[in-house]
Amino acid sequence: MKLMQNMLVIALGGALGALSRYSLGIWISNKWNQGFPLHTFLINVSGAFLLGFLNVLFIERLTISPLWRLGIGIGFLGAFTTFSTFSNEVISLLEGGSFFTAGLYTLLSVVVGFTGAALGVGLARIL
């Protein structure tokens, strides 16, 4: 029963995260369409920040149900961020001959993603 409850909470969070990523991705793409996949970059970095922030908040600061942690962390943020889309965009940039943009996108995604997560952890600890 507990496994089924966990899976349901993760699925619900995942559905909300995927819909949020899709909606925000379209909105950003309509504002910025310059060859750099800014929509995926911003979504992944903000998701890394939020996951770092919320992990500290939920584990060190707040008493929160494990179901909420599963729904938000694995479900919502797991579906909100997307490594597969990032990987596919890098391949598309490489196949299109945009080697510099592909390299820059890869480097920025890793460095800024880790930095975002670290900033989220740091901010949660000083609040």
Q: Considering the chain, what percentage of its residues have pLDDT values greater than 70?
A: 100
Tokens of 84: 């597969």
pLDDT value, residue 41: 97
- CA geometry: angle at 20 spanning 102 and 71, to 5°? 110
Sorting pLDDT into bands at 50, 70 and 90, what band is 116?
Answer: very high
Residue 63, pLDDT score:
87
Residue 68 has a pLDDT of 95
Task: Please name which of 70, 19, 24 lies closest in space to residue 46, comparing C-alpha atoms.
Answer: 24
Query: Is residue 76 a contact partner of residue 13, using CB atoms and an 8 Å limit?
Result: yes
How much is the average pLDDT of 106-127? 97
What local confidence, expressed as pLDDT, does residue 1 receive? Answer: 84
Mean pLDDT of the chain: 96
What secondary structure does DSSP assign to 16-59, as a single string? HHHHHHHHHHHHHHHH--SSS-HHHHHHHHHHHHHHHHHHHIII
pLDDT value at 5 more than 90: yes
Give residue limits of the domains in the chain.
Answer: 2-126
Q: Residues 69-98: what's their mean pLDDT?
A: 96
Where b means 16+ CB within 10 Å and e means fewer, 2-17 reads: eeeebeebbeebbebb
- Taking only the tens place, the pLDDT of each residue in 16-72 is 999 999 999 999 999 988 889 999 999 999 999 999 999 999 988 898 999 999 999
